[in-house]
Amino acid sequence: MLKSNVAVFYTTENQRYTVDVSYLVYKKATHIMKNSFFLLLIGILIISCKPYSSTTKTTTQPMTYSSFRQLQKSYPSADGLIKYIDQGSGPVILLLHGVPSSGWLYRKMITPLVKNGYRVIVPDMLGFGASDSPTGYELYSSKHHSQRLLALMDFLKIDNWAHVMHDAGGLWTWELLAQAPQRINRLILLNTIVFEEGFTPPIRMKPGFLAKTAMWSYRNGITTNMLLNGLFKAGIENNTLTKKDIEGYKTPLLEGKTKGMYYFFSKTCNDLPDYTAVFQKISIPVAVIWGKNDSMLQWEPQKEKIINHLKVAPENIKLLNEKHFIQETKAEKISVAITRFLKANQL
């Protein structure tokens, strides 16, 4: 026979009553299971926001973000340490990232360009990647970025170079050309900021509490996956990035590298400068390699202005069937196109 699960209790008035203990245990267990279910559901939702596909085939790209950082050298700029890649020998090509990426964006292009006979420089601009992220606001203006870039090239004793830029790297480049136009001898545009037409950034914020709170959530892992998931969903036709690929974008954010982002999304995006005067003085060969399906930096609304203002020859325009982050899926085609353009223009 089963033992009784009934317990006997007495009130303060000495009244006798009984309680089925097994029922109490059942109710407690049910409560715990419900709480556990909701915690599990929240965990599943967080994990499901990951910006990569776990069913994706493993890529042939062996480089990890930690090994990429081991290749980087350091330049002690006046504002903080800047990390950069310097590989190969021959005519110099500088590969300039945008926001919120870093030199990691070009990892698949470095070796092909080096093999084609070029010295390749790939910086992490201040506030991004492995570089320092000092406190400040105007420190991250396009003018200050361009001044640090010039200082880096002076440090490397490089007088002039072929210049490749992507995204916000265009703004830093136009500022550089305004200050020292003789330093760049060839110009290659990769889905970069040129005119207001076609410029539809994924985020626009006002300086202040809400923008700072958003940056806080990015660097504390609360909305980091959500940010990257949204960027790559909007920026790649078929997102096949692996967890190792994403690591190079996610790690800097979790290290607190959001001050440069804060300036860009709360200031630059809301007050895009007009560089027409700079464009008019450009007399070097210019090439355009553009993901034609980019919704953030659209080609069609500004193509005529880019072609006319930068004097781009038809043979130097290559449109790719891709969105914004063309370096992730079209690295080989871009490297070939850059090499052909430079060889055709005696570099």
The model's pLDDT over 289-341, given as tens digits with 9 standing for 90+, comes to 999 999 999 999 999 999 999 999 999 999 999 999 999 999 999 999 999 99
Q: Exposed, middle or buried, 6 (CB in 10 Å: 0-12/13-18/19+)? A: exposed
Distance of CA 297 to the CA centre of its chain: 15
Of 42-46, 75-79, 159-163, 338-342, the poorest mean pLDDT is in 42-46
Close Cβ partners of 6 (under 8 Å, ≥ 6 residues apart): 18, 19, 20, 21
Whole-structure pTM value: 0.84
Please indicate whether residue 27 or residue 117 has the higher confidence score (pLDDT).
117
Which whole-number Å values give the CA distances from 314 to 166, 188, 318, 322, in the listed order? 20, 14, 9, 20
Of 31-40, 175-184, 209-218, 315-324, the poorest mean pLDDT is in 31-40
C-alpha 69/C-alpha 255 separation (Å) is: 14
Peptide bond into 314 cis (omega under 30): no
Q: Assign 21 a pLDDT band (cuts: 50, 70, 90).
A: very low
Is the pLDDT at 180 greater than 80? The verdict is yes
Q: Assign 83 a pLDDT band (cuts: 50, 70, 90).
A: very high
Of 33-47, 85-99, 222-236, the poorest mean pLDDT is in 33-47
CB 139 within 8 A of CB 80: no
Is the pLDDT at 11 greater than 50? The verdict is no
| Residue 203: predicted pLDDT | 84
The model's pLDDT over 140-161, given as tens digits with 9 standing for 90+, comes to 999 999 999 999 999 999 999 9
C-alpha 259/C-alpha 226 separation (Å) is: 19
Q: Would you state the structure tokens that stand for residue 179, as one six-digit string?
A: 């200050």
Q: Exposed, middle or buried, 54 (CB in 10 Å: 0-12/13-18/19+)? A: exposed
Return the CATH class of domain 65-344.
alpha beta
Q: Would you state the structure tokens that stand for residue 3, as one six-digit string?
A: 């033992």
The model's pLDDT over 224-277, given as tens digits with 9 standing for 90+, comes to 999 999 999 999 999 999 999 999 999 999 999 999 999 999 999 998 999 999
Q: What are phi and psi of 274, to 5 degrees?
A: -100, 115
CB 299 within 8 A of CB 271: no
Q: Would you list the DSSP string of 47-101?
A: HHT-SS-TTSPPPS----HHHHHHH-EEEEETTEEEEEEEE--SSEEEEE--SS-
* Residue 294 amino acid letter: D
Q: Assign 52 a pLDDT band (cuts: 50, 70, 90).
A: low
Which whole-number Å values give the CA distances from 317 to 24, 163, 312, 346, in the listed order? 75, 16, 7, 18
The model's pLDDT over 94-143, given as tens digits with 9 standing for 90+, comes to 999 999 999 999 999 999 999 999 999 999 999 999 999 999 999 999 99
Is the pLDDT at 54 greater than 60? The verdict is no
CB 201 within 8 A of CB 100: no
C-alpha 64/C-alpha 263 separation (Å) is: 29
CB 249 within 8 A of CB 104: yes
Per-chain mean pLDDT for the chain? 87
Distance of CA 134 to the CA centre of its chain: 19
**Rounded mean pLDDT of 47-65?**
57
